[in-house]
Amino acid sequence: MRSSQELHAERPRLPDMSASVDPHDAARFEPTLRILATSDLHTHIMPWDYMTDQPSPTRGLAAVATLIAQARAEVPDNLLLDNGDFLQGSALGDLVAEAEPGTCPHPMVAAMNALRYDAGTLGNHEFSHGLSLLDQVCREMAHPLVSANIHDAPQGRTLLPPYVILDRTVQVYGAPVLLRIGILGFAPPQLVKWDHQHVAGRIATEDIVDAARRILPQVRAAGADIVIALSHSGIGSDIACPQMENASTAIAALPGIDVVVAGHTHQPFPSASLPASAGVDPHTGTLCGKPAVMPGFFGSHLGVIDLRLEKDARGWRITQHRSALWPVSRRTEDGTAEALVTPDPKIAAIAAPAHAATLAWARRHIGHNPAPLHSFFALVRDCPSVRAVTYAQREHVTRALADTDLAHLPVLSAAAPFRAGGRGGPESYSFVGAGDLAMRHIWDLYTHPNTLTAIRISGAELLAWLERSASLYRQITPGLPDQPLIDPEFPSFNFDSVDGISYRIDLSQPPRHDANGALIAPGARRIVDLCFAGRPVAADAQFVLATNSYRTGGSGDFAGARPDRVIYAAGRLNRDILMEHIRDRGVIPAPGPENWRFVPMPGTSALFDSAPAAIDFIGDLPDRALEPLDLTPAGFRRFRLHL
């Protein structure tokens, strides 16, 4: 009897159709292989928002599990892959991480094992709770985890296997044929800065594209017929440059890569809202002509890539492909999110104990809040919710340094709004209502597991620090109406405001930095009237600046923010410092006078987006001329700010 390979060789070859199938075209093809992908789940298993203590139809692996079952039923020959950042990012994940390692299976791992993932990779946030938890999780995970550019520094080898080859039998013309699928994994090399306190001296990273070039020949030599890159990295330029954070397009440009699963930046792809650029086709979902997806975040989407494969004398090749995102929710006309699927009860049951424990923790009473705090306008005013954090940090560091030789230096404090819309969507804003204060509110105000640190900083460095933050804004031309205010590529967690000084931001000047922190206009000066105690800050003035481990690890490239500049490390979470500050007093302290404002620009207006609920708090800005406008298709409320 002849083999299925011999029978296949006698079939007439199809014409070369190695272009993507238009996702809006009604024409269909029968896939040889379906690739299912998740990314940036951030321990969101249940469709629940622990900060608001309400159901959330926009998230949850339990909801995605229903889509996974549907997709598998349609195409039996499939792979389920995860692209990293599954281990940190929700209150549930933080609570599990604080438990004694090894005392119970991690609920995220249990859920992924139940869904029978085929392979996965690490994101940068897998390191946010330290290496002990990551080691436990890697041992518990049923599917192989791969990473080609993260190294065990002392051992001089990759922390995990750089690739795996999965043997799968697929149907070709009704006959079973063996297909060998290579899976590589990559993460941003910057993770050694972002989690410096956990990985210094223990983890090293390699440039993503360099690692791919090094490993790809090995994967092909090991017999891979097709190669899938799990790239926990954003969609950037197709031209590689050293230490790229967003290297997925450059990865796709490499010969030997067939499919790319992107992530990290939480942008859905394919997406009509993402502009086309060199190598990026957001309509058909291709990067450098290769099929690709980025499946959103928190379980908002399931990425689905269908491949039609043919084999000839040169080996396997993709003749047709289609990339798509299957969402778990949609926006109604009034901007609210509406569920499209019912969560999988099996996955919900796995998460139930940890979910119940998280709810009990989130609802624990710790004090009183005299007036609402929110981040609806955190990017256009000195925000009281951020000042609650800076006040607690400043007081703690002042006490800690009271009996040291630094006690004579003024203590300032920097913090950023972690939840201020953007890619997080219109639900991603902090809100703490007046009345009882619970643990969930503290987590809302400070979501990341950073630890409190402080550095000594000069007046010149302080000015540069503020210029880096003020690069959030686009340049505004005086006298023109309705100019876009915010650079959408600039993450709000890099918009530090500093407590203990006063300053103004001149939006008529260009930004000194781009969204990634690169210096683009060295002569620009947006920060004016920088004063301490009512007097101008001299370049050689000396201060202590309270901040966090993420920043002093070098993240964001802020002036003076380096590990060797740290003069105090609390060794405790900023969130815990804030919680104790409030618990000791019973209330959130009333915010003091504002630290910063915009320089007035008569006859000029700018547009920005916020949460729909922000319309109820316009009174918080009585001296600002602020007009609510329409809802955007993404569910935000647009505002006009008269400068």
Whether pLDDT at 543 is above 90? yes
CA dihedral sign of residues 363, 365, 370, 375 = negative
Exposed/middle/buried for residue 517 (C-beta within 10 Å: 0-12, 13-18, 19+): middle
Are 391 and 625 a contacting pair, CB within 8 Å?
A: no
Structure tokens given for 566: 């740290």
Q: Which two tokens stand for residue 180?
A: 């060998």
Residues 108, 93 contacting (CB under 8 angstroms):
yes
Question: What is the 3-class SS of 567-579, one letter each residue?
Answer: EEEEEEEHHHHHH
Q: Which residue has the tokens 């289609």?
A: 322
Confidence tier at 619 by pLDDT (50, 70, 90): confident
Closest by CA position to 118, among listed 224, 37, 5, 190: 37
Q: Mean pLDDT over residues 126-150, rounded?
A: 95
Q: What is the pLDDT of residue 15?
A: 28
- Helix, strand and coil content of the chain, in percent to the nearest 5, comes to 25, 30, 45
321, 418, 432: which is closest to 371 by C-alpha? 432
pLDDT in tens, 573-611: 999 999 999 999 998 877 778 899 999 999 999 999 999
Enter the DSSP assignment of 126. G
Cα–Cα distance measured from residue 50 to residue 40, given in angstroms and rounded to the nearest whole number: 17
Confidence of residue 228 (pLDDT cuts 50, 70, 90): very high
273 pLDDT more than 90: no
Q: What's the confidence (pLDDT) of residue 592? A: 75
CA distances for 640 relative to 80, 273, 390, 479, 613, angstroms: 44, 22, 28, 14, 16
> How are beta strands 502-505 and 605-610 bridged, if at all?
unpaired
Residue 289 has pLDDT above 70, yes or no: yes
Angle at 180 between CA 179 and CA 186, to 5 degrees: 135
Other residues' Cβ atoms within 10 Å of the Cβ of residue 291: 26
Q: Virtual CA dihedral for 96, 102, 105, 107, nearest 10 degrees?
A: 10
Query: Residue 322: which H helix or E strand, with range?
Result: strand 315-327
Question: What size, in residues, is the chain?
Answer: 643
Q: Token pair for residue 540?
A: 């050689």
pLDDT of residue 312: 85
Residue with tokens 């993932």: 117
Residue with tokens 């029968």: 30
DSSP 418: S
Angle at 577 between CA 573 and CA 579, to 5 degrees: 110
User: How many angstroms separate the most distant Cα atoms in the chain?
Assistant: 92
Question: Which pLDDT does position 600 carry in this prediction?
Answer: 95
If you ran DSSP here, which 8-state letter would residue 34 be given? E
* 8-state DSSP, 358: H
Q: Over the stretch 87-107, which tens digit does the pLDDT of each residue have?
A: 999 999 999 998 866 567 899
Question: How far is 499 from 512, CA to CA, in rounded Å?
Answer: 22
DSSP count for the chain of H helices, then E strands: 15, 38
Pairing of strands 535-536, 451-458: unpaired
> What is residue 85's three-state secondary structure?
coil
The stretches of 2-60 forming alpha helices (DSSP H) are: 4-10
Nearest to 120 by CA among 181, 218, 39: 39
pLDDT tens column, 348-400: 999 999 999 999 999 999 999 998 999 999 999 999 999 999 999 999 999 99
Nearest to 576 by CA among 342, 393, 383, 339: 393
Q: Do 234 and 264 contact (CB within 8 A), yes or no?
A: yes
Higher pLDDT, 623 or 106: 106
Q: Are strands 19-20 and 315-327 parallel, antiparallel or unpaired?
A: parallel
pLDDT digits (tens, 9 = 90+) for 423-449: 899 999 999 999 999 999 999 999 999
Distances (CA, A) of 206 to 17, 31, 40, 187, 332: 36, 35, 21, 9, 44
Location of structure tokens 């995990």: 160
b/e map 571-587, b = 16+ CB within 10 Å: eebbbbbbbebbeeeee
User: Across-strand partners of 260?
Assistant: 229, 292
Which tens digits make up the pLDDT trace of 469-525?
999 999 999 999 999 999 999 999 999 999 999 999 999 999 999 998 999 999 999
Domains delineated in the chain? 4-316+326-355 (3.60.21.10), 363-610 (3.90.780.10)
Return the pLDDT at 326: 98
Which pLDDT score is estimated for 1?
Answer: 30
**Across-strand partners of 337?**
331
**Quick one: tokens of 325?**
């995102």
Confidence at residue 21, expressed as pLDDT on a 0 to 100 scale:
55
Percent of the chain scoring above 90 in pLDDT: 86
Output the pLDDT for position 8.
32
pLDDT band, very low/low/confident/very high, at 69 (cuts 50, 70, 90): very high
Query: Helix or strand or coil: residue 258?
Result: coil
The pLDDT value recorded for residue 110 is 97
Q: Is the pLDDT of residue 264 over 60?
A: yes
Among 110, 288, 257, CA closest to 185:
257
Tens of pLDDT, residues 162-176: 999 999 999 888 889
Residues 524 and 467: beta-carbon distance below 8 Å: yes
Owner of token pair 């080898």: 157
Residue 344 contacts residue 69 (beta carbons within 8 Å): yes
pLDDT, position 375? 96
User: What's the average model confidence in pLDDT over 26-34?
Assistant: 79
**Terminal CA-to-CA distance of the chain, rounded, Å?**
81
Which residue is it, tokens 């309509």? 283
Structure tokens at 348: 């919900």
Average pLDDT over residues 132-144: 95
Return the closest-CA partner of residue 212 out of 128, 139, 168, 146.
146
pLDDT on residue 334: 83
User: Residue 502 to residues 460, 506, 597: CA-CA distances in angstroms?
Assistant: 15, 14, 9
